[in-house]
Structure 1
Amino acid sequence: MGPAPKDPSRRARRNKDTIPQTVLRWEQAEAPELPDFRVERDGQLVEFVWPERTREWWQTWIDSPQAEHFGTSDWQYLLDTALIHARLWRGDLSAAGELRLRVAAFGATPADRARLRMVFAEADGADQGRGSSGGPSARERYGAAKLRSLPGGKSGKSSTGDE
């Protein structure tokens, strides 16, 4: 937990990283289906039924913008997390804390995404070619030739005509 480390080029101290970074080859993975399996209840094996709310939750993760950055191990971790989600929606409130910790690692809430430094690119594309306010700039509205100084400005003369 805590803030993400600064970019090394922006650090005040240029100490060498004590632990070298490992660069991995990226392979995007497809989301698995929620599996069918059996659980033991009262000494008998019965079919596990996923709560409808957990199925909706799983589909939300599949459709999320984050999903395009998930690898196989990420989906496996989320699959285990789905079991915790199912426990919560079956009334086991003790699962809530673990569920919150696990989904935070994937950017489930706006605060989680801010901590992970995730931003949505759609907003960047919408602002392209326009001023920061979203409308045309003053130069575009009035043109450079139409701008002029108003009386009383910093021209060296006072507004009363006294020098």
Structure 2
Amino acid sequence: MAGNGPPPKARKARRNADPIAQTVLRWEHAEAPELPDFRIERDGDLVEFVWPERTREWWQMWVDSPQAEHFGSSDWQYLLDTALIHARYWQGNLSLAGELRLRVAEFGATPSARARLRMVFAEADDADQGRGRSGGPSARERYGNLRMMPGGKAKGSA
């Protein structure tokens, strides 16, 4: 008979709803630019800026990184500015370490940064065929033929 029991719970609106609507952008993939040639002022003269070899290696690491396929043009521009900070750091300006650390974290440079950004390596399962990190046989392969002893108790259990 209808009407018995407590009334259904009313659906309550979320109180912590975002006050500003989300903006959806059209995805635009951008190719990595080369480190640019430019001049800087030194002692009143304009001289060619020389990228440290370490910064060139660092830049190539980003170009080849899995994250790069998700970078748009503004990401590459921000990373170019970060490359200049990286170069200055490797030229001895250690006061830039904090800014460099913050900037590379935005791109998922470390395991903790990738975890914070909720990045995972999709090919990891494919590479080990689901066998885990060791590359050895899976638990199903190791223990798949084990069966319960008659009487329901595993051998050695109390």
Return the TM-score normalized by structure 1: 0.74
1:120 alignment counterpart: 121
1:52 alignment counterpart: 53
How many residues align? The count is 137
2:75 alignment counterpart: 74
Distance in 2 of aligned mates of 1:98 and 1:21: 28
Task: Report the AA paired with residue 91 of structure 2.
Answer: R
Q: In the superposition, relative to structure 1, how do residues 94 and 22 fare at CA in structure 2: closer, same or farther (>3 Å)?
A: same
1:153 alignment counterpart: 152
Q: Aligned with 1:18: secondary structure?
A: coil
Shift of 1:125: 2.2
Kindly report structure 1 stretches of 4+ aligned residues shifted beyond 6 Å.
Answer: none
Summarize deviations over 1:98-134 as a string: whole Å, max 9, x none. Answer: 0000000000000100110100011232465x57785
**Higher helix fraction (1 or 2):** 1
Residue 137, structure 1, aligned to residue 140, structure 2: yes
Task: Report the AA paired with residue 138 of structure 2.
Answer: G
1:10 alignment counterpart: none
Return the TM-score normalized by structure 2: 0.77
Shift of 1:37: 0.6
Distance in 2 of aligned mates of 1:114 and 1:86: 27
Q: Is the 8 A contact 1:88 1:95 kept in 2?
A: yes
RMSD: 2.5
Q: Aligned with 1:137: secondary structure?
A: helix
Summarize deviations over 1:60-110 as a string: whole Å, max 9, x none. Answer: 000000000000000000000000000000000001000000000000000
1:20 alignment counterpart: 21
Q: Aligned with 1:46: secondary structure?
A: strand
Task: Report the AA paired with residue 152 of structure 2.
Answer: G
Q: Percent identity, aligned pairs only?
A: 74
